[in-house]
Structure 1
Amino acid sequence: MYPPELVKPMREDLTGAGFEELHTSDAVDAALAKEGTTLVVVNSVCGCAAANARPGAKMSLQNVKRPANIVTVFAGVDKEAVDTARGYMVPFPPSSPSMALFKNGELVHMLERHHIEGRPAELIAENLIDAYNEHC
């Protein structure tokens, strides 16, 4: 587990953009039970989260079509919430950072770490925007 003071600015990077932080299994279940689309970002302390994932997720929200709900869980911090979120992402193996788009609780699009690492934030945003345009 990472110290709270270390992850605070990384959490605020997404919450400042309107993402709701989920800390418990019940919160994840409730978020994914909502009708409509929900983007779940599995946040991380790694460099690719800072350089690629968080900026890409935020950029993607500038699109006309976007998810009705945007939420985040933090790997290495909120174990219960992350484990529950990853359970909804099966058959994809756990990875962080990662991003999943759900529609009415069903997984419809997934970006794993290997889709994020080494790719510019703009490309990640474009990938998400394509998913939003199809599912939102």
Structure 2
Amino acid sequence: MPYSPLLVKPMKEELTEIGFTELLSADDVDRAMEEATTGMTLVVINYVDGCSAGMARPGVRIALDNGSKRPDRLLTVFAEQDLEATARMRSHFADIPPSQPSIALFKDGELVHFVPRHRIEGRDAQSLASDLQAAFDEFGQ
């Protein structure tokens, strides 16, 4: 059963306020990923837990604010809330076990970098941001 929209609203806004497009349905994901065939696309599978609040969302924010290169598109789905959209997004990296929160970086439509939950939890936001900035620098134009 999905979480209450009122509960997740502030967590969603942490990303949408910095430019992420929220994908709410499988059709939204399909359209967004069709447009993601050129350049870099960052996808955050958002979640309600403390790992997301303490490391994932702040780490993404820091990486986007401080990096020399930045993804062309910022997309997000919310696990345990937007179930259809999350399942469809996960189909774009089906060989990777479901993980929430998690962060995927696509270059020209191909998955090039993935940060699962176990590489987020137990770290601080700045460490995660540094890893993301390195990936942006490696795969950016």
> Hey, what's the Cα distance between the residues in 1 that align with 2:128 and 2:91?
23
Instruction: Name the TM-score, length of structure 2 as normaliser.
Output: 0.93
Residue 29 of structure 2 is aligned to residue 28 of structure 1 = yes
Q: How does 1:50-69 map to 2 (within 5 A)?
A: 50-62=53-65, 63-69=67-73
Distance 2:62 2:117 in 1: 18
RMSD, aligned CA: 0.8
The aligned length equals: 136
User: 8 Å contact 1:33–1:104 — kept in the other structure?
Assistant: no
In structure 2, how many angstroms separate the alpha carbons of the residues matched to 1:64 and 1:26?
32
Q: Of the candidates 91, 98, 104, which is equivalent to residue 102 of structure 2?
A: 98
Aligned residue number for residue 45 of structure 1 = 48
My pick for the range that moved more, 31-40 or 66-75, is 31-40
Match of 1:2 in 2: 3
- Uncovered stretches (5+) of structure 1, i.e. residues with no partner: none
2:116 corresponds to which residue? 112
Q: Percent identity?
A: 51
Instruction: Return 5+ residue gaps in structure 2 as ranges.
Output: none
Q: What letter is aligned with 1:101? A: L
Deviations 1:62-121 (A, max 9, x none): 212010000100000001110011111222100100000001211000000000011101
Q: Distance in 1 between matches of 2:53 and 2:85?
A: 21
My pick for the range that moved more, 22-31 or 104-113, is 22-31
Query: Distance in 1 between the 2:100 and 2:22 partners?
Result: 16
Q: Which runs of 4+ in 1 moved over 2 A?
A: none
With the length of structure 1 as denominator, give the TM-score of the two structures.
Answer: 0.97
**Conservation of the 8 A alpha-carbon contact between 1:32 and 1:102:** no
